[in-house]
């Protein structure tokens, strides 16, 4: 189960989030300006980025990285970036546009592979698009904060449940070992089949 981890220093995650925000601010000015899909009252914001470990659905080994919410005038997405040292990480193995389910909170979510020259490989999960149901930037950001808080609570609950299950299994194994009959000593084991001669034998 994915679990927030103290990975790289927090500034490394916030620095990448700042770069993500700058890249999409450029897209908002250049590629998306004036398009009808854009909410005119919204701006680009990278929010809540923090250390996180994601795993493919099916119990495979997870990978460390950074997870947060990216708000733009045309979408609100969860964005996950693999740890910088993982050159062969999950996201780096995806083709751009390829979709894969990842376990984030209580339920698996579908992420799509993406790449930007200034950002490298990352993956995104669409939360809402378009955003016309939101009155303003404050409403969108409040929703993004609720999303991150909910995912964090779910991940922490799953981690606590897994730790409790491991502890229970360890205790059960210990109790079973203590209840098992004691093994004979080495001398007794070696001589167990040899009868000691009686002293009064003729």
- pLDDT of 197 reads 56
Q: What does the pLDDT average to over 88-93?
A: 60
Q: What does the pLDDT average to over 89-105?
A: 79
**Lowest mean pLDDT segment, chosen from 8-17, 32-41, 86-95:** 86-95
Any idea of the CA torsion for 78, 93, 24, 69, to the nearest 10 degrees? 10
78 DSSP β-pair partners: 69, 125
- pLDDT of 89 reads 57
Please tell me the pTM assigned to this model: 0.74
d(CA 196, CA 202): 15
- pLDDT of 166 reads 66
CA 7 to chain centre: 12
Q: Is the pLDDT of residue 141 over 90?
A: yes
d(CA 35, CA 20): 21
- pLDDT of 48 reads 93
d(CA 38, CA 167): 51
d(CA 65, CA 50): 8
Is there a contact between 66 and 51 (Cβ–Cβ < 8 Å)?
yes
- pLDDT of 190 reads 47
- Look over the chain and give the mean of its residue pLDDT values, rounded to a whole number: 80
Q: Is the pLDDT of residue 87 over 70?
A: no
**Percentage of residues of the chain with pLDDT beyond 70:** 68
Q: Rounded to whole angstroms, what are the CA distances from 78 to 69, 114, 141, 171, 172?
A: 5, 12, 13, 39, 40
What does R_g of the chain's alpha carbons equal in angstroms?
28
CB atoms within 10 A of CB 67: 26
d(CA 142, CA 51): 20
Residue 202 or residue 25, greater confidence: 25
Residue range 152-195, pLDDT digits in tens: 898 878 767 666 666 766 776 777 667 766 555 544 544 555 55
Which of 2, 4, 6 lies closest to 102, judged by CA? 2
- pLDDT of 7 reads 39
Which of 67, 106, 68 lies closest to 90, judged by CA? 67
């Amino acid at each position: 189960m994915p679990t927030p981890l103290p990975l790289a220093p927090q500034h490394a995650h916030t620095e990448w989030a700042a770069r993500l925000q700058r890249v999409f601010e450029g897209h908002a000015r250049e590629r998306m300006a004036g398009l009808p899909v854009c909410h005119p009252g919204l701006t680009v914001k990278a929010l809540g980025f923090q250390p996180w470990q994601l795993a493919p659905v099916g119990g495979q080994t997870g990978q460390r990285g950074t997870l947060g919410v990216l708000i733009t005038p045309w979408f609100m997405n969860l964005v996950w970036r693999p740890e910088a040292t993982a050159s062969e990480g999950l996201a780096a193995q995806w083709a751009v546009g390829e979709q894969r389910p990842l376990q984030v909170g209580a339920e698996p979510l579908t992420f799509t592979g993406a790449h930007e020259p200034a950002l490298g490989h990352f993956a995104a999960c669409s939360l809402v698009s378009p955003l016309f149901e939101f009155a303003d930037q404050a409403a969108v950001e409040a929703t993004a904060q609720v999303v991150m808080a909910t995912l964090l609570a779910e991940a922490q609950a799953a981690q606590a449940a897994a730790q409790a299950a491991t502890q229970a299994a360890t205790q059960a194994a210990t109790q079973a070992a203590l209840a098992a009959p004691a093994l004979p000593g080495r001398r007794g084991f070696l001589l167990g089949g040899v009868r000691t001669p009686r002293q009064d034998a003729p």
